[in-house]
Structure 1
Amino acid sequence: MAKVEAIWSVYLIRTKANQLYCGVTTDVERRFHEHQSSAKGAKYLKGKGPLTLAWTLAVGDKRKAMQLEYRIKQLNKQAKEKLVVGEIQPPLSV
């Protein structure tokens, strides 16, 4: 039986101060709950709740997801906000 590859996703979480945090995971819902409630969440998000899941995109493999995460982190806040509302497309590799 062939090994099933996990589908990686990129996500943006909004803090109560309206900041956007970008991350990658194979399970967005699980990871979002970890950020909200456990020691497994990112240090950056500690004490910055309530958190809301602002945007997510299933990418495929881990390499592509990490590349997209990097590109999103290079965007300014205005561009990230446009991404969240669908005014621009994610900066996928060419």
Structure 2
Amino acid sequence: MYIGRVIGNVVATTKDSSLKGKKMLIVEKLNIQSNTAETSEVAIDTVGAGNGEYVLVTKGSSARVSSGMDSAVDAAIVAIIDSIEIEK
């Protein structure tokens, strides 16, 4: 899993039938120490996240399970983060 920030969405009229009705968001992966983006990717939204929100993203088979799908899902948003506490 990783912490990311939603930076946009993806609209695809033509797509695999298993993705119909699923919201696809662009999430930038954060290095939480410096709050900078490392990379970005598309993730299926399972919790109703919106643009600018910090989220927890799971990958691989965990993403398919959490999204309730048996398809080509490799990343899924599984939580909207309220706060982050880092002890130094």
Return the TM-score normalized by structure 2: 0.26
Of structures 1 and 2, the one scoring higher in RCO (CA 8 A, sep 6+) is: 1
Give 1 or 2: higher helix fraction: 1
Return the TM-score normalized by structure 1: 0.25
Give 1 or 2: higher strand fraction: 2
